[in-house]
Structure formats: C-alpha cells, structure tokens
Structure 1
Amino acid sequence: MARPADADVVVLGTGVIGLATAWEAARRGLRVRLVGPRLGEHQGQASRAAGAMLAPFSEVAASDNSQRVALEVRERVAARALYDSWLPLLRQASGRPLALTPGLWVVATTGGRGDAAELDAIADAARAHGHPAERHDPADVPGLSPARSVAAHGALWLPTEATVDSGELMGALTDVLLAHEGVEWSEEHATGLRPSAGADVAVTRAGAPDIRAPRVVLAVGVGLSDLLAGSGDLDLALPPMLAGKGVSVLLRHVPTELPAAIRTPMRDFACGMHLVPRADGVVYLGATNRLTPTGAVTHPLVTELTDLLREAGEELNTRLYEGQVVGTRVGYRPFTLDHLPLVGRTADPRVLIASGTYRNGMLLAPRVAEMIANHLTGATVEAHPFDPTRTITPHALPETLEHWLPDLVDLFLPPQGTPTNMQGVLADLLHHGLRSLVTDGSGPRGAAVRRTWEQAPVPEALWSLLVAYLK
C-alpha cells in the first residue's frame, strides 16, 4: 500500500513568486510543502536584489508592439490593483510595518535616444488604462540633479505606480509562512521530479527523502534548467529559461531629498537608471541587465559597478557620488524567449509553473499566486497570455538587429553622446559585422557567435555575440 502524500502541493522556490504562491495556497486551506533556502545570502536570487518598482506603465517602450503592450499592461495593472488589498493582509499577518511609497517619476534626458517619445508611450499606456500621467518640468522633480552635460528635458509623474522595500516584503512573507500551521518548509535543494506511486509526483532532494504530492509548482526562476535536467522521466514540454544578471548598489547618506523613486525610460536592454528611496534611509540604485549563464558570477564586476554609478550620477543626481556604498546586490532575472512569464499547467497537468517574470516579479507576485491557487483549487482561471504551453517564436536576427542595434551602440557611448556621427558609424559596423558572423562566419569565432545566437535568440544576446567573438 502506497504511503499517503506528504502535502496537497509542493512549491519549489523561495523567491517572491514561490513565497507568495505558497501563502495563497495555504490561505485557501491546502497543505503546502515549501522547498528551498530560507536563511543565508540567497546569492543570485532576483527577488532579494530587486528595487521593487511596481510599474505597470513605466516599463513600456515606444518601439513596443501595441498589441503586446495592451496584453502585458493589462496583467501588470491587475497585479498593481491586487497590492492594495494584498499588502495590508500581509502587513496584518506578519506584524511588519509594510508600506508602499506612492508615485514614480520618469525623466527624459539627453542621455537616451528619443526619451521624449518614450515618455509619450508611457503616458499613453497609463491613460489608456484609466490611470493619470502628469507632465512636469524637470525642475519639479525632487532629487533630480543631473550633470550639466546630460540635461533633463521632460518629466512624467505616475501617481499610481509605487515602490516597496523588497527586503521587508520577503521578510514578511517568510514570517507568515513559518507561522502558518498549513505550511512545512524544507530547506534542502530540490534536484528533480519523477513519477511516484498512484498519481503523485515525487520531488527529489539532495541528501533527503523524496517529497510526494499530487501537485507541484515550479517557482525556481533561473534554476529551472537544472531542475528539468533531473526530471527526465516527466514530459513537461517547457521552453528555455534565460537569465538576465542585474547589479544594484545600496547607498546611505546621499545628500539629497528623495521622496519618491526616479527613473529613466527603458534603455540598454534594461529598465533604465533608477533611484528608489527606502524607509530606513537607504537609496537603492539600479540596475544593469546582461544575459549571463546562471551562476557564472554571483558578485558584481568592477565595470558593472562603475558604469552603474557613473550613468546614474550623470543622468539622475551627481550628489550620489557623495553617498556611502553600504552594499551591492546581484540577481538573475528569469525570462523566456518571448519575454512573457510561464504561469499555469505544464504538459503534465500535475506540474504547474510560475516563473519567467523577468523585471516584474515583485509586481506580478500576488497576481501569479492567485492564478496558480485558482488552478490548484479548481477555481476559474481567467484567460491570460502566460500559458506555459503556448507556441514561442524565436526572434529573427535581421529584425533584432534592425530594432535593437541602437541599444547596443548606446552601451559604447557616454550618456552625453559624441560630437560627431560616431553613433551612426558604429551602428553600421556592428550591423554588418554581426549579421555576417551569424549567417556565414567561418572559423571558431564565427561558430561561437552562431552558437550563442542559437542558444539565446533574444535582443539581450547582442552584447553576448560580441563577447563570444572576442573570446
């Protein structure tokens, strides 16, 4: 006779998506086994490295497809609305003084190509969803003081966007899960999945017995590939999960008032420069984004830190240079080839996934947790664009070069630009060189470039193509 299941559901992963999902499932009366680290530095975890901007609109770019914007913004707006009820529940359950810092400034500077158009796109997206977007003179933005060589020429105030302290939020979720009688937390590392007796799935762990349950939720972020490698007996039919390495800096004693977050529009394959104030007086400065093999480097590179500090100082506030660096963070953001999350049932209905939230994990957490809990309890699941079994069409290189090459060029140029047409010359050189190498380049360097693109046909890989060529 087979032993009974160890839980109604096993949730793998202790980032914000895993913790939020485990809490939501437990609140609905399910017996939950949570698997993943609780203590320690959580090196590489995106959630604990996040600036935690709850930004449905300021992540929009002018070049984005309008239909795609409508799909993504709809989900982000729904997630932001959930925070107004979800955060008070978490505050009450944990006893922690969780609070949102309301509002977010987006500034246009001469450091970004077409920043004025970016502000237009952000404002249009907000107003299309019934949210205000207020135009201001840059002089109205508290805490904005860029270098003279990088003038600010526009500002947008988004009062319904917000920020939250990611450390406090993760601590609150940890507290409520440890105290919940329906949750058991196992800190061993999950190594894979396999079929078990009856209809259950077994979670294998390093140095510990298997855990059996009728449902398993994969919320392991960029650890998905390793987990799937140990799950060969199950056909989950999941697409690749890539990792974007983000580096951020924590500052104290910055001699400026910063009542709300300030950011630039999207650029350089990332979410732009941003300063986020926290209640303890720390200023979060973020963030880079580079396609990186998972776990390759869990510490920031010197060049990442110097570039981040220089660009944020020049574009947002030169007085950052007078602050004290009290910490750095590195997080690997999980993302798919089409940059949409994977949320719901896999090809094996016993296994669900909640991952690939990229730069919006903190924002989407209550929304994703609700979706997964609805699956687990048989409640109605509204239609959404995050179906894990969807067909994902990889990016084509010609279109990627045409659309994204200016972002690659910007990585080589200072924020204030160049006095000559260096940008155009460099763009032409990179366009022809990369396309030639990927399509018909010979020799080991050409092969390395082609292999890099085949493994990750996404815009973020353009920088990696250059790295592959130069190695």
Structure 2
Amino acid sequence: MTCAARPTLSAPRIAIAGAGIIGLSCALELARRGATITLYDPNTPGRGASWAAAGMIAPAFEAASEPGVHPKLFDLCLESARLWPGFAARLEADSGKPVGYAPGPSLAVAADPATARHLDGILNTLAKRGLPGDRLDVDAARAVEPSLSPDLLGALRLETDGHVNNRAVVSAFLLLCERHPSITLEPTPAPLHSRGSTLDSDGHDLILVTAGWQSGALKVTEHGQQVSLVNWDISLDEIDTYGGQMLSVERRADHPATTLRAGPIYMVPRGSELVIGATMEPGRTTGMPNTDDIAGLLSDAAQIVPSLADARITSTWSGVRPGTPDFAPFLGRTRQPNMFVAAGHYRNGILLTPITAQIIADQMLGAEPGDLAGAFAPSRALPAQA
C-alpha cells in the first residue's frame, strides 16, 4: 500500500475515533491550538477504561521495575507525572470542577518475598535517577498508615506516585469538549472510507484513533464492504485486552487514608469510599464483575489491611485495559500519512493523559517527534518481533 505525501496543515479538520479520556484530552488540546474536531464514539463518552480506573498516577510503581516494559516507559511516565499538577489546575480552572488531584506520596508494601524484591528493584531504579524513595520497616510504615498489617515485610514511600479522581477528570473533559465551539461529539462510529490506497473520513483532513482495545475493530467502508482498520496499519492488531475487576467499600476510620500498592492490589481513599483493585485478566472482555473474584480481591486486600475483612462493599465494576506487547502506548503517525493513533496505554491511561495529548497535538499539527515521543511510534519493534 503506497503512502501519499504527508499533509501539512495549520488548522486541520480532525476526526477522532474514541471518546475516552485519551480522545477527549487530545480533542481539547488540538482544538485549543486551532483545529476543528469531531469526536466519534457509539458508546457513552468516557465510560470505558477511563471510568473504570482508580486514577493512579504512579510512574515509579508501574514502570520503574516492571518486567517486559518498554525501556523508555518510565521516562514517559515521569514526564507525564510532572505535567499533572499544572494539567489538573488548568482543568479545574477551566471547568469549575474539582478533579481530586493528590500528588502523593503513596506507600508500596510487601507481604511476601517476591513483592519485597520488586520494591528493591523500584528503589534501585529511583536511586540511579536521583529520585526520592525511602525504604521503611513495618513500624515506620505503620506510623504513616496505622491500618497496615504488622505482618508485612516492609514498605517503600514513593514521592512520585499519587492519584486523581479519574471520573471527575473525565466529567471535566466532557464538559469542556461539549462547551468548545470547535469540538463536535457524534454518538456514532467514525465514518472511515477507503479512497484508493488511503483513508478518508467525510471531509476531515486527519484521523486520530483513540478507541483503546477496540481500535483494531474499527471498520472501514471499502467497495461497499466493511473491513478492519487493521488493514491500514497492522500495529492496531497488537493491542490486546486485559480485563480488570474493582470494588469500593465504605471507608471507616480504621481504613487507609494513604494510597497503597501491594503487588497487583491498590487501595485509593476517595472521600467516604475506599477503591480497591484490581484483577488482571488477559483476553477477557465480558462476564465481569464476578462475585467470587470480587470476594477474592477483598480478601487479598485484607491481608494488607486487616480491618477490611468486614468492610461493607458499596459498589463493584469492571473495565478492559488496552495493552501492547511492551505495555506502552502507540503514539503518533501510522503508515497512513493522514492517520495517527494514541492507544494501548495498559494500566497508565490516566497517568499518561497529559503527555499523550501534548505529543499527539504536536505531531498532528506538523512537529517532528522528539526522541522520547519517537520511541513510542506505532512502527517500533515489539518484543515478539525483535
């Protein structure tokens, strides 16, 4: 398939396929820079993985020592975490709505030797970067968070890791996009058509794919038939699904007031509730939440915080994370000159929202990607291909 010359437009008309937090944030950033945007999504905007998440902004825990991740993911996560204070402040000022941004620190705790070794790896990476990270024994950790079990093996204070109320962020973005005169939201699939060897979207100059794990399932009309968008860029076929189940409990005085991480478990205080997550279920998109899985998740959390054993569950829900083979997003231009992608953020969609919007807006409006942005191009070598 032959690519045409790359378009260079100062005020393009852009079709965005997918209105989750990534699509909404990119739409707003592009519109602020002069583009005209149509956001397409047949589902309720912002109610997919964006809504199901717990709002973790955790570059150290998620990327500093995770096996198999993209070698530059920690750098990308750190840069986005540095953007979050100003990003949250502007979002609140423009929308008039609080978004619950809390810069940290959080506590990562170990209940078994394997998790303790993981914390050692995080601490080692932080030390090499000159970043703060304090090892705490159990007594010191319980002085910070008294609800912790005395049987833990230790903890790590992560100054870089905080959280935000992801649902409040999504709501603020949606409000601003609905208000913006250059943004239109359409409750339909993006109208993608084949024009010879290139794509067209009803008069738009550029196309941005932000449909998460459903990006590869988007359809293109070609010769009267509906065919997969994967045919226009095979990287979209590399976005896999990772189902996750979560719950919230009524937060009592003997429950955590600090954001906690413990292996796959996280606990995030959010007003009168404590959000607890999350299962990690590769390939799963349906049949969630499950009563037994939720009970197991709460039981695992109670090993870290014993007072949760008799906590009252207030809500359960599920979501599907979109992940690539190196657990890092695809950001930038595809092999189609008029199509860009921002998808595959795995567990870091909320964290990476500011940097994603910045990178995508820069590239779609004509800037060449820098070294960091370029490392996440859809055309990069993936582990299975290396």
TM-score, scaled to structure 2: 0.87
Matched, 1:246 2:247: no
Unmatched segments (≥5 aa) in structure 1? 1-6, 203-210, 266-271, 397-471
Corresponding residue for residue 379 of structure 2: 389
1:374 is aligned, of 337, 349, 362, to: 362
For residues 382-461 of structure 1, what are the structure 2 equivalents within 5 Å? 382-384=370-372, 385-394=375-384
Deviations 1:370-394 (A, max 9, x none): 1110111112421232110123242
Larger Rg: 1
TM superposition shift of 1:34: 0.9
Residue 46 of structure 1 contacts residue 331 of structure 1 at CA under 8 Å; is this kept in 2?
yes
1:140 is aligned, of 143, 150, 162, to: 143
Secondary structure, aligned partner of 2:76: helix
Corresponding residue for residue 267 of structure 2: 275
Corresponding residue for residue 14 of structure 1: 19
Corresponding residue for residue 4 of structure 2: none
CA 1:312–1:380: 2 relative to 1, 3 Å: same
Corresponding residue for residue 37 of structure 2: 32
Matched, 1:58 2:49: no
Partners in 2 of 1:80 and 1:308 — Cα distance? 28
Matched, 1:106 2:94: no
CA 1:232–1:86: 2 relative to 1, 3 Å: same
Residue 254 of structure 1 contacts residue 319 of structure 1 at CA under 8 Å; is this kept in 2?
no
Residue 240 of structure 1 contacts residue 337 of structure 1 at CA under 8 Å; is this kept in 2?
yes
For residues 179-328 of structure 1, what are the structure 2 equivalents within 5 Å? 179-190=179-190, 193-196=192-195, 201-202=200-201, 211-228=202-219, 230-232=226-228, 235-238=232-235, 239-265=237-263, 272-278=264-270, 280-294=271-285, 296-297=286-287, 299-314=288-303, 316-328=304-316
Identity %, equivalent residues: 26
For residues 171-186 of structure 1, what are the structure 2 equivalents within 5 Å? 171-186=171-186
Secondary structure, aligned partner of 2:335: coil
Corresponding residue for residue 76 of structure 1: 77
Cα-Cα RMSD: 2.6
Corresponding residue for residue 86 of structure 2: 85
Residue 137 of structure 1 contacts residue 154 of structure 1 at CA under 8 Å; is this kept in 2?
yes
Secondary structure, aligned partner of 1:378: coil
TM superposition shift of 1:99: 3.4
Deviations 1:230-284 (A, max 9, x none): 445862232422100010001113342533201113xxxxxx1111011x32110
Secondary structure, aligned partner of 1:84: helix
Deviations 1:93-132 (A, max 9, x none): 110122322211001113xx42222111111222333321
Bigger Cα displacement from structure 2, 20-29 vs 94-103: 94-103
Residue 21 of structure 2 contacts residue 50 of structure 2 at CA under 8 Å; is this kept in 1?
yes
Secondary structure, aligned partner of 1:20: helix
Aligned length: 363
TM superposition shift of 1:339: 2.1
Secondary structure, aligned partner of 1:58: helix
Partners in 2 of 1:117 and 1:253 — Cα distance? 30
For residues 107-126 of structure 1, what are the structure 2 equivalents within 5 Å? 107-110=109-112, 113-126=113-126
Partners in 1 of 2:29 and 2:17 — Cα distance? 14
Corresponding residue for residue 8 of structure 2: none
Partners in 2 of 1:386 and 1:106 — Cα distance? 28
Partners in 2 of 1:198 and 1:245 — Cα distance? 35
Partners in 2 of 1:86 and 1:98 — Cα distance? 11
Partners in 2 of 1:41 and 1:69 — Cα distance? 26
Unmatched segments (≥5 aa) in structure 2? 1-11, 221-225
TM superposition shift of 1:322: 3.0
